Structures are given as structure tokens and as C-alpha cells.
Amino acid sequence: MSEYVIEMLNITKEFPGIKANDNITLQLKRGEVHALLGENGAGKSTLMSVLFGLYQAEQGTIKKDGQVVQINNPNDANALHIGMVHQHFKLVEIFSVLDNIILGAEPNKMGFLQKAEARKKVVALSEKYGLQVDPDAKIEDISVGMQQRVEILKMLYRDNDILIFDEPTAVLTPQEIDELMEIMRNFTKEGKSILFITHKLNEIMAVADRCTVLRKGKCIGTVEIKNTTKEELSRMMVGRTVQLEVEKGAQNLGDVVLDVKGVTVPSKLHSNNAVKDVSFQVRAGEIVCLAGIEGNGQTQFVYALTGLDKMSAGSISLCGHDITKAKIRDRSKLGMSHIPEDRHKHGLVLDFSLEENLVLQRYWQPEFQKSGFIRSQEVRKYAEKLIQQYDIRSGQGPITAARAMSGGNQQKAIIAREIDKNPELLVAVQPTRGLDVGAIENVHKQLVAQRDAGKAVLLVSLELEEVMSVPDRILVMYEGEIVGEFDPKHVTVEELGLYMAGAKNMYREVGVGTQVPEKEGNEA
């Protein structure tokens, strides 16, 4: 038998205008955790989709146990015992856990479902691997962590022994991440092989045996983890040396810029409040981070703060002006800038050009309009200035459609627009979501520059590395409440994780048997 369970040899996959995978070779050993590292758009997901049968490669061969195989669809992959946990879970929300697990591989007699035997198998598997799930719960009612366990059980139910995990840790708490790593190690002990897609270096160092690095569709190399360092990996990934630590100057605190008192926001989904009596201040010259697991009221709080939604109680003042009921433009005029969580929904008009998007906050100013008509030459000049200053790259410069730009450059455009307004308060909600290491470094530099220039910055983040490295103060939010305040220099990730999961609260006792945070999705 071959040393490798799966070999992807010289894979080339082209999409119109771009080579997503260019002659990539990846070999997976039996019983190893093999990390696949690369920036966004490096071709990781494409490569895995080829292996999983969602795409067909133009060139190259795939071998299983040394035999050349054809994988034309997920059924073929399944027959070869290849399973995948997708980054965005592929679960039907109104179905039960059991129905989701058996979907596509239903035990049946003449087409009639035989759920009893399926249930037995699922319960046995979940006990064997410590993957606790409730087979009858509906997906929409369970936590993200449990949803992931359902995805893993889906693979095990199909007797898969080559398991692909596509960025599995993005949605988990630190404790859940540790559990997942443990589960992965258990799988490898049983001889299962794991492909682990990620761009988080810490996790690779913790769990992987080997790592293949992709950059711009090309394979940079495969390294043994025990012979490498984080710095080396990030250099391979980006192609230059990246500063992993955020550099900050000495803090120079000023006056209170943002004063939030008792803000309460009702939920759109249930009778509870999404945000409960939240109070804090942000002063000039500091970065305050609102941390927490997704869906604990951060989105709703920011909506209330920026005026996208109404609050039911409390008050907000900005630089001494009460803005509790102010219009969005008035908030903006008073010095609030907002880098929204969903850059496609609230950040850009995707079918407008780059220059139109850049001037979106100021087109009404005399500089850019004359008796109601846009002065397009001024807009063009202004856009070109920002494009240069913030290094926004696009196909056709100012007239590129925002939709056609990469995520990182879309974000740069929003940041340029919001920072060039010269705000007193910058509200940045997950500003690095979906960006790669190089782009993240750039965003962090901009935030710190605002702080050093004596502005107030409110950062809302789900990324622990960001939470630990960027802000001067951390506020943890759980189920709509602020449950703790920390100095990042004096707190550990584990400690933060306990607060984020609701197991600890600085301000009151926590009951035994903490609850899974109720899901509070963005009102899409």
C-alpha cells in the first residue's frame, strides 16, 4: 500500500480569467493532520472542492491509495470515503439533527425512511467520539458548536476516513476550539486522515503534522510543522515578512468621546432584549474592543449606536451631544465613522463605481455638488487621491464597479472613506473579517494610527488574536450584556473564553449549567 491515502498531483483548475489552482501537488499521509495554509483567494477552497467533486480540474490526477480515481461529484467522493465540513455549514435549518445527518444517505426500504436504525448509529457514533448532540433538536435551535458536531457526525455516519475541515474554528469559542483539536487528534489515532484548511497559524502549530502553503494559486511548498515557525509559515503564505504583532505607541488618553448609558435594544426574533442595559465610555486616544461570540447582541448594539435601528431605552452621547435619536447623517456630521460588519449590505453600493462609493458620505457637501448636480470632476480627483493614499487596487481605477473588487480592496475603500472624514469616533465592526494576513496588518495599522492621532476607536471583533493584540481595553459581551472588562495585557485567552461562553460574569453570579447562547442572527 502506498504511503499516501490521497494524492492530488499537478492539479490545474481555471476559472474565466484566473488560474485558481496552478499545478498544485498535495499528498496526504495516512493518520496525519495536514494543514492547507494560504491567504484568501490562494486557491485552498478550490483545491478542496476539486477533491470533494464540486469542481473538476482541467489537468492533473487524483490518487486514492495509489490508484487513480475520478471524482465527478460529491457522491463519488463519498464512495471513496472523503468527507468535508464546509466553512458555511451545509445544514437544513428546519430539519432535525438526525434528518440532516442522514440526508443523501438515507437508510430506506423501497424509498421509505428507516429512521430508527439511523438513530442508533448516530447515537453510537456520538458517544464513541464524544460528539454530544441531540438527534431530535432542530438545527435552528442549537448552538454553532453543536452544528459543527452535526457536520462532523455527517462524515462519520458515511464512514468517511479522509476528513476535510474548511476553516472550522472561525465560529468557535476558545474552549470549543480546544475540544475540536482533541477530536481531530482522536481521529488520527484511529487512522483517519485530516485535511485542515485555515489561515490561523496558532492552530496549525498546535495540531498539524505537516503543512502545505498556497499563494495565488501556486504551491509554495510542504513543510514539517516541527521544523518550522509561525514567522516562516507567514512568510511563505504572504511572500514577504509580516508583522504579526501590532505595534502601538504610548497611550495618550483624552476626553470622553462616546458615552453609552443603559442602552437596551429589543430583539427582532424573540421577546427578550438583544442588548440589555449596556453602559460604557470610550475616550479619545484609546481603542476599546467589544468582544464576544457571534450573535450575542454586538450587531444589534452597533445598529443602535450608528442609527441603523432604534433602541428602546438608554442614551448615547458623542462628544457631549446627545445622539440617542439623531439621524444617521447627523451622527456622521458630529464625527462618527462606521466600518460596517457587512460590507456588502451597509458598506458599499456594489453596483456603483469605486469613485461613487468613495464619495458616498460627502457627495452633498458644496465641494462635490452645485445646485443639486454632482461635480464629477471633483469626485474623480478626490477618488484618485484616496486610491493613491490608501493603495486601493482595482481593475479600472475610479470607474471600477465595487462588485468587481476583491474583498480586501473593498474594505480598503470603506476604510479610506470613513477615515478621510476625519472622525472623532471610529466604529469598526469586524474590520478584518475575511481578509488575509497582509490586509489584516494594514487594517490594524490604520486603527492604531487613528488612536495615536487622538481619536476614539470602538472595535467590535470575534477574532481572539485581534481582541488580544489591537485594543487598549476589552469589553466582553454575552447574551446582550457586558459581562467583563479587561486589560489585554493582564488577561489570558482562556479567561476571556470563559466570559465569552457565559461561564463567568464580573458583575453577578452565574447559575450552574450555563446556557448555550441563543442565536441572534443578523436580520438579513
Partner 1 sequence: MIVLADVISATIVFAVPLLLVAMGGMFSERSGIINIALEGIMIIGALMGCLMMRWLDAAVVAGQLGAQLAMLIATLFAGVCGIVFSVLLAFASINLKADQTIGGTALNMLAPALAIVLTWVVQGQGQTTILIPTWSRITQETFGITVANPFLQNLLFKNSYLTTFITVLLFIAGVILLYKTKFGLRLMACGEHPQAAASVGINVFKMRWAGVMISGFLGGIGGLAFTLAAGSGFQSSVAGYGFLALAVMIFGNWKPWSILGASLFFALFKVIGAYASSIPFMPQFKGLEGVSTYLYPMLPYIITMILLILTSKKSRAPKAEGIPYDKGMR
Q: Residue 269 interacts with partner 1 (CB under 8 A)?
A: no
The nearest distance, CB 54 to partner 1, in angstroms, is 8
Are 58 and 14 a contacting pair, CB within 8 Å? yes
Q: Residue 210 interacts with partner 1 (CB under 8 A)?
A: no
Q: Residue 124 interacts with partner 1 (CB under 8 A)?
A: no
- Per CB under 8 A, which region of 109-117, 250-258, 368-376, 476-484 contacts partner 1? 109-117
Write a three-state SS string for 366-406. CCCEECCEECHHHHHHHHHHHHHHHCCCCCCHHHCEHHHCC
Q: Residue 154 interacts with partner 1 (CB under 8 A)?
A: yes
The nearest distance, CB 156 to partner 1, in angstroms, is 14
The nearest distance, CB 268 to partner 1, in angstroms, is 11
Task: Please name which of 222, 219, 149 lies closest in space to residue 182, comparing C-alpha atoms.
Answer: 149
Task: Please name which of 399, 393, 401 lies closest in space to residue 379, comparing C-alpha atoms.
Answer: 399
Cell readout for 379 is 469626485
The nearest distance, CB 395 to partner 1, in angstroms, is 20
Out of 28, 91, 131, 414, the residue judged to bind partner 1 by CB under 8 A: 91
The nearest distance, CB 155 to partner 1, in angstroms, is 11
| Nearer of residues 267 and 369 to partner 1, judged by Cβ | 267
Radius of gyration of the chain (CA): 25
- Listed in sequence order, the residues at least 6 apart from 64 whose beta carbon sits closer than 8 Å to its beta carbon are 5, 6, 80
- Per CB under 8 A, which region of 82-90, 325-333, 382-390, 407-415 contacts partner 1? 82-90
The nearest distance, CB 450 to partner 1, in angstroms, is 34
What residue ranges in 292-380 does DSSP mark as E strands? 313-318, 321-322, 336-339, 369-370, 373-374
Buried b (16+ CB within 10 A) or exposed e, 188-225: beeebbbbbbbbbbebbbebbbbbbbbbebebbeebeb
Out of 78, 126, 410, 432, the residue judged to bind partner 1 by CB under 8 A: 78
Site for partner 1 in 42-61 (CB under 8 A): 52, 54
| Nearer of residues 355 and 520 to partner 1, judged by Cβ | 520
- Listed in sequence order, the residues at least 6 apart from 69 whose beta carbon sits closer than 8 Å to its beta carbon are 62, 63, 76, 80
Q: Residue 197 interacts with partner 1 (CB under 8 A)?
A: no
The nearest distance, CB 138 to partner 1, in angstroms, is 12
- Per CB under 8 A, which region of 106-114, 226-234, 264-272, 307-315 contacts partner 1? 106-114
Got the DSSP string for 6-42? EEEEEEEEEETTEEEEEEEEEEEETT-EEEEEE-TTS
Q: Residue 108 interacts with partner 1 (CB under 8 A)?
A: yes
Cell readout for 126 is 456520538
Q: Residue 69 interacts with partner 1 (CB under 8 A)?
A: no
Q: Residue 112 interacts with partner 1 (CB under 8 A)?
A: yes
C-alpha to C-alpha distance for 170 and 26, rounded to whole angstroms = 24
Task: Please name which of 287, 261, 286, 289 lies closest in space to residue 275, comparing C-alpha atoms.
Answer: 261
Out of 25, 56, 67, 75, the residue judged to bind partner 1 by CB under 8 A: 75
The nearest distance, CB 29 to partner 1, in angstroms, is 26
Q: Let me know how long the chain is.
A: 524
Are 358 and 412 a contacting pair, CB within 8 Å? no
Half-sphere exposure of residue 333: CA atoms within 13 angstroms, side-chain side: 9
Cα angle: 152, vertex 195, 229; to 5 degrees: 125
Q: Residue 73 interacts with partner 1 (CB under 8 A)?
A: yes
Q: Residue 342 interacts with partner 1 (CB under 8 A)?
A: no
- Per CB under 8 A, which region of 78-86, 222-230, 336-344, 465-473 contacts partner 1? 78-86
Q: Residue 113 interacts with partner 1 (CB under 8 A)?
A: yes
| Nearer of residues 33 and 102 to partner 1, judged by Cβ | 102
| Nearer of residues 74 and 438 to partner 1, judged by Cβ | 74
The nearest distance, CB 153 to partner 1, in angstroms, is 13
| Nearer of residues 111 and 249 to partner 1, judged by Cβ | 111
| Nearer of residues 105 and 334 to partner 1, judged by Cβ | 105
| Nearer of residues 52 and 301 to partner 1, judged by Cβ | 52
Q: Residue 146 interacts with partner 1 (CB under 8 A)?
A: no
Q: Residue 104 interacts with partner 1 (CB under 8 A)?
A: yes
The nearest distance, CB 90 to partner 1, in angstroms, is 4
| Nearer of residues 166 and 176 to partner 1, judged by Cβ | 166
Task: Please name which of 81, 98, 65, 222 lies closest in space to residue 163, comparing C-alpha atoms.
Answer: 81
C-alpha to C-alpha distance for 287 and 473, rounded to whole angstroms = 7
Q: Residue 92 interacts with partner 1 (CB under 8 A)?
A: yes
Task: Please name which of 451, 483, 488 lies closest in space to residue 472, comparing C-alpha atoms.
Answer: 488
Q: Which residues bind partner 1 (CB under 8 A)?
A: 52, 54, 73-75, 78, 84, 86, 88-95, 99-100, 102-106, 108, 111-113, 154
